[in-house]
């Protein structure tokens, strides 16, 4: 069925039109307010065009594979597979600013194709609006949000669960892809999003960002505040961005610089235990 629906994430709206599946993770974000940062049209066919290879993800087994190619008109083509070696599920074409896009389903998993297309478009179209889609687990406590960063498997979700268990008043905001935004007034806020990894936590809520903590596994518990240069690098390493898109890189750079100026960043070497959560809480909450 052909239909049109708009959503708003971190104060930034986008619209989908065409024949597409209704995704439950998007439902809390339905909105008719604001102007679109991008508009996605789901189509039944796309004309063949010559392309030039730009990039292919190499996250390894268990992760989706996405190829990026340049189009003759200056836009981009994305092709998506749920896993390396699997058949293609979708082709996404965008203009240079990522404000307009077309999506053609190639396989049966339309939900995978639509969800990943929206994540890609949001990441790129929001770059000029001070927003960063972070690979992070976020908890809320006492009216602020605390982001836990780290490579896959280092214990971000585990540390969030320790706060939930041992730090009274803690609530999970998002467990994989929150939006960290530098607001027009120069403050930092963290928002829930429709994308939360394996944990179904799709909250349309936001709070001031209290701190960012990079988690590292260690045989002891120790926390250290990072100086500005290291804080910038820590944030950049966990922000969804793509530096070859030069037209967007400046926006990401400005956002990172602004966030480092107002948001404390730490590194926590820790065990997966109650003492680590309490040490982290006492340091960042103070």
**The two structure tokens encoding residue 129:** 């609006």
Instruction: Please name which of 91, 146, 127 lies closest in space to residue 10, comparing C-alpha atoms.
Output: 127
CB of 92 within 8 A of CB of 46?
A: no
Q: What are the extents of the domains in the chain? A: 2-125, 131-285
- Contacts of residues 142-145 at CB distance under 8 Å and 24 or more positions apart, as own/partner, are 142/169, 142/285, 143/207, 143/208, 144/207, 144/208, 144/209, 144/210, 144/211, 144/285, 145/173, 145/178, 145/189, 145/190, 145/206, 145/207, 145/208, 145/209, 145/210
Tens-place pLDDT, residues 60-111: 778 899 999 999 988 999 999 999 889 999 999 999 999 999 999 999 999 9
Q: Please tell me the distance from the alpha carbon of residue 54 to that of residue 230, in angstroms, as a whole number.
A: 29
- pLDDT, residue 158, reads 96
CB of 239 within 8 A of CB of 115?
A: no
Enter the CATH code of domain 131-285.
Answer: 3.90.228.20
Instruction: Please name which of 34, 16, 276 lies closest in space to residue 122, comparing C-alpha atoms.
Output: 16
Element housing 242 (H / E): none
One pLDDT digit (tens) per residue for the chain, 286 residues: 678 999 999 999 999 999 999 999 999 999 988 899 999 999 999 999 999 999 888 777 788 999 999 999 889 999 999 998 899 999 999 999 999 999 999 999 999 999 999 999 999 999 999 999 999 999 999 999 999 999 888 899 999 999 999 999 999 999 999 999 999 999 999 999 999 988 999 999 999 999 999 999 999 999 999 999 999 999 999 998 877 787 788 999 999 999 999 999 999 999 999 999 999 999 998 7
């Amino acid at each position: 069925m052909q239909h049109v629906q708009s959503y708003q994430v971190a104060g930034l709206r986008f619209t989908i039109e065409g024949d597409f599946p209704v995704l439950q993770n998007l439902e809390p974000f339905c909105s008719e307010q604001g102007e679109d940062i991008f508009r996605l049209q789901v189509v039944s066919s796309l004309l063949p065009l010559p392309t030039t290879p730009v990039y292919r993800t190499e996250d390894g087994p268990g992760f989706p594979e996405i190829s990026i190619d340049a189009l003759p008109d200056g836009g981009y083509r994305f092709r998506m597979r749920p896993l390396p070696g699997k058949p293609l599920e979708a082709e996404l074409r965008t203009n240079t600013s990522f404000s307009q896009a077309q999506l053609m389903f190639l396989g049966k998993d339309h939900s995978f194709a639509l969800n990943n297309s929206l994540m890609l478009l949001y990441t790129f179209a929001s770059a000029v609006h001070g927003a960063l889609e972070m690979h992070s687990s976020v908890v809320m406590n006492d009216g602020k949000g605390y982001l836990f960063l780290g490579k896959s498997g280092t214990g971000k979700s585990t540390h969030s669960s320790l706060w939930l268990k041992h730090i009274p008043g803690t609530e999970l905001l998002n467990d994989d892809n929150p939006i960290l935004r530098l607001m027009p007034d120069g403050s930092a806020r963290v928002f829930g999003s429709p994308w939360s990894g394996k944990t179904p936590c799709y909250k349309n809520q936001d709070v001031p960002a209290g701190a960012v903590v990079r988690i590292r596994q260690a045989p002891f518990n120790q926390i250290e505040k990072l100086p500005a240069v290291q804080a910038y690098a820590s944030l950049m390493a966990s922000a969804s961005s793509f530096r070859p898109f030069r037209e967007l890189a400046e926006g990401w750079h400005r956002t990172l610089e602004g966030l480092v100026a107002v948001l404390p960043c730490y590194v926590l070497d820790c065990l997966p235990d109650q003492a680590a959560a309490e040490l982290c809480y006492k340091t960042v909450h103070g």
